[in-house]
Structure 1
Amino acid sequence: MKPESYAARRRSYTWRENSLASSDESEAKKFDWHLIADFGPYLARYRLTTLASIVLMLLYTAANLANPYLIGVAIDRFISHGDLGGLAVISVILLAVNVVMWQAQYWQIWSMSWTGQQILYHLSADMFSHLQQLSLSFYDRTQIGRVMSRLQSDIDVLESMLSSGLLSIIGSLVALVGIIVAMLVMHVGLALLTFTVLPIMFIIAAFWQRHAQRSFRRTRSAISMVNATLQENISGMRVIQSLAREDRNRAEFDDLNAYNRDTNLEASRVAAFVLPLVEIVAALAIAL
């Protein structure tokens, strides 16, 4: 009779046995917004560069929004009337706006990346100091590989968020508000007609967020289990070879590795699902 698979056994019991997993790796647990406040002391150390990044982001967004407006002015006022002098002036202004946009984006990305790396440096140092202060019982009941996963993969995710993700979200929100204001100023009726698709967008976003959160937490748990298993097998290789368990351990790891692959494929499917729907709704808004 084939023994119970390693991945199934881990999924059934690991969450109760491992305090690190049971504390914050629940797939159904809601996001705790109070965790964002924990970054406050780290951001406060570099508040000037953070503020500069925000200002540069706003400048880039304003220049990006000015581009289509200037192109519209060039077409409506100068090209349609054959005014070459006015077209030359608006072309120079458009070129200057694009140079400002390029410089603002460059320095915004650099300054936020620098700030993010500095924050992660202090965060990693604090995490390492915290690990040294934990009791021996913690390491008795917690897999070292899972701690390593926390220090490596999770820090990489934070690096991506701090370097580009956070300001990208803020920039997109500011751009969205600017587009809405510009549409209302240009034509209220057409703008309100276009806004009729917004409830559909909110429904899609809510549906995607619920499934994406569960999928990405599952991938986080899976890679943590893979790292823990690798650490256990590498550190215990002498025992494994002395007991001739190479084939069994390889089969168990293959089973767990397949689970990690499947969870990542599922997360990829969830991520790929939302963009076509957004494009369809955007096309519907243009058609209206």
Structure 2
Amino acid sequence: MSKITGDAFNVNLLKRIFQYVKPYRGIFIWSVILTILLAIVAPVRPFLIKYTLDNYILKGQYHGLLVMTIVMLVLLVLQSAIQYSHTLLTNTLGQSAIRDLRINVFNHITTLRLKYFDKTPIGQLITRTVSDLETISDIFSEGLIVIIGDILQVIAIIGVMFYADWALTLMVLLPMPLLIIATSIFQRSIKAVFQEVRTEVSNLNTYLQEHITGISIIQYFAREEQEYLKFKKINKRYRDANIRSNWYYSIFFPVVEVISAMCLGLLVWYGAKSILAKPLGVTPGTIAEFILYISMLFKPIRELADKFNTLQMGMVGAERVFRVLDTDERTINKGTYVPEKMEGNISFHKVWFAYNDENYVLKDLSFNVKAGQTVAMVGATGAGKSSTINILNRFYEIQKGEIKIDGVNIQEYELSYLRTSIATVLQDVFLFSDTIFNNITLNNPQITMDEVVDAAVKVGAHDFIERLPGGYQYNVMERGATLSAGQAQLISFIRALVYNPSILVLDEATSSVDTETEILIQTAIDKLMKGRTSIVIAHRLSTIQKADQIIVLDKGEIMETGNHQELLKLDGYYKRLYDLQFHSEGIAK
């Protein structure tokens, strides 16, 4: 991975960027050809004006003037057509390459382990995928190709100027070292500011994403004023960074104009002196030609610093984006085992697991679940129940031990097969801003409407869905905001069922619904668990009394195992949990 330096011509980084240009090689080649043509055509018009002035206007030859006027109009149209094509192609090239890169970045992000998202703000990833990628597209539309074109144009103009009058050219270029010094100072100064701007954009996006997502918490605790003040500080830093960048521009551009005026003054002084001293030397046409050349010369030079910094911002954006792409925190999918059907025998053997590789949340965990059985996991918050489910799905990798399904290590299964064979219903239901049907199928074309309706009927959700405007085509809005918690939970349960899993996982699946909805779900659960291996995690012990096996966890260790009656007879940890819960419920009643 490239170290972030902000160097505008980091060759290795440019090579990586141009890997995405390869599919559009034809567009790139034509962009380069048009860039060269623009550099060649640019000096021609001033030369024609000089020739027309000296040979036709001053001599009163109106026919020749008419011919040259037509020639210059044709040239202008040709130059405009080339410029139009050049702008269109460079922008098409940039947007096409960025489209492919953005798809690549999104695809890579979706394969990263949950551990990566535990420590990376979502707003930062949004910045990488959106605004940082846009700065890379500027490398093509406003950066590298355009810079090369401007440099070629400057070289061509200076070459023609020397050909026209080398002494006059030297006089005109006397202030150029001042421009080079000013450009160098400007480029170094603006570089640090641009990096600061990109950092503040990332901070702004992160803050907005987190606080808009958590707006209900802010309002519940009346924190609007405090969060408003905090946002003002972040926004002020972003504004100040932009003002500093504008400040450098406000100094640089007037300096360029002053130097340009100096060149023009030297041209007029030296040219007039030469005409008066030697009328046949420098002609009025030459003076007019050089005035146009000075304008054409300083325009790309003035813009060169700006475009150079556009290129630099693109490189900074590219380094940030490739840092994400170079992240190796992905679940390694080397497994190839895809049986015709997974039976659902689960075996944990001496499993140790830690989120940070140091503090183990699961310690020497060993248990077996036979196909078709229902096993329940109980314990206090932080006991390791959800962690057990996370490692079964390979969302996190274990440090020691072995997990097998049907006698095969889970790492030997093809990853997508493993995860689609284990359907999970979580306590915190997430619904996308989409239709109910698409939220259930997750846009899987192999799942039909009949299958969705059948699963909804089994769960008992069909009637309420049909009452919604549009039925299964009803848009639930972001995070299911237009549905109750119970309705959202029912939809997530249908989502799990339509994939016809071999293993069903219910992680606190009924804890956020009302009693009536819980009874509805529990009835469906009893039917659907039959013949399917099921793992149930629940705080309410009343929901797991029919389980074939109950595993009692505490601080990542198995304290007791057995069915409900066996554990009550032990008069141990489970019995204390049971008595405490039902005593509390009795008080509540």
Q: Answer whether TM exceeds 0.5 for this pair.
A: yes
State TM-score, norm by structure 1: 0.85
| Aligned equivalent of 2:202 | 224
Q: Give the whole-Å Cα distance in 1 for the aligned partners of 2:109 and 2:64.
A: 66
Any stretches of 5+ residues in structure 2 without a counterpart?
A: 267-589
Q: Give the whole-Å Cα distance in 1 for the aligned partners of 2:137 and 2:5.
A: 22
Structure of higher RCO (CA pairs closer than 8 Å, 6+ residues apart): 1
Match of 2:78 among 100, 103, 108: 100
Q: Which stretches of structure 1, 4 residues or longer, exceed 6 Å deviation after superposition?
A: 23-31
> Is the contact between residue 109 and residue 164 of structure 1 (CA under 8 Å) also seen in structure 2?
no
| Aligned equivalent of 2:117 | 139
* 1:58 to partner: Cα distance: 2.2
Corresponding letter in the other structure for 1:203: I
Q: Give the whole-Å Cα distance in 2 for the aligned partners of 1:30 and 1:100.
A: 33
Secondary structure of 1:196's aligned partner: coil
Alignment of 1:161 with 2:139, yes or no, is yes
* 1:133 to partner: Cα distance: 2.7
State how 1:16-95 maps to structure 2 within 5 Å. Answer: 32-95=10-73
State how 1:237-248 maps to structure 2 within 5 Å. Answer: 237-248=215-226
Alignment of 1:209 with 2:187, yes or no, is yes
> Is the contact between residue 27 and residue 214 of structure 1 (CA under 8 Å) also seen in structure 2?
no
> Is the contact between residue 63 and residue 98 of structure 1 (CA under 8 Å) also seen in structure 2?
no
* 1:144 to partner: Cα distance: 0.7
Corresponding letter in the other structure for 1:260: Y
* 1:165 to partner: Cα distance: 3.3
Larger Rg: 2
Q: Give the whole-Å Cα distance in 2 for the aligned partners of 1:224 and 1:230.
A: 10
Change over 3 Å in CA distance of 1:30–1:37 after alignment to 2: closer
State how 1:7-22 maps to structure 2 within 5 Å. Answer: none
| Aligned equivalent of 2:248 | 270
Deviations 1:207-243 (A, max 9, x none): 0011100111111111110110011111222222233
Change over 3 Å in CA distance of 1:67–1:209 after alignment to 2: same
Deviations 1:155-181 (A, max 9, x none): 222233322333321221111001110
Corresponding letter in the other structure for 1:275: F
Change over 3 Å in CA distance of 1:93–1:28 after alignment to 2: closer
Corresponding letter in the other structure for 2:138: S
Q: How many residues are aligned here?
A: 266
Deviations 1:105-155 (A, max 9, x none): 111111222222211110111111121232322211111101101111112
> Is the contact between residue 49 and residue 111 of structure 1 (CA under 8 Å) also seen in structure 2?
yes
> Is the contact between residue 60 and residue 100 of structure 1 (CA under 8 Å) also seen in structure 2?
no
Q: Give the whole-Å Cα distance in 1 for the aligned partners of 2:115 and 2:3.
A: 20
Corresponding letter in the other structure for 2:143: G
Change over 3 Å in CA distance of 1:57–1:28 after alignment to 2: closer
Change over 3 Å in CA distance of 1:29–1:104 after alignment to 2: closer
| Aligned equivalent of 1:280 | 258
Alignment of 1:122 with 2:100, yes or no, is yes
Corresponding letter in the other structure for 1:50: F
Change over 3 Å in CA distance of 1:188–1:87 after alignment to 2: same
Q: Give the whole-Å Cα distance in 1 for the aligned partners of 2:209 and 2:2.
A: 21
Corresponding letter in the other structure for 2:72: L
| Aligned equivalent of 2:159 | 181
| Aligned equivalent of 2:444 | none
| Aligned equivalent of 2:178 | 200
State TM-score, norm by structure 2: 0.43
Q: Give the whole-Å Cα distance in 2 for the aligned partners of 1:270 and 1:78.
A: 46
Deviations 1:262-282 (A, max 9, x none): 111111111222111111111
| Aligned equivalent of 1:148 | 126
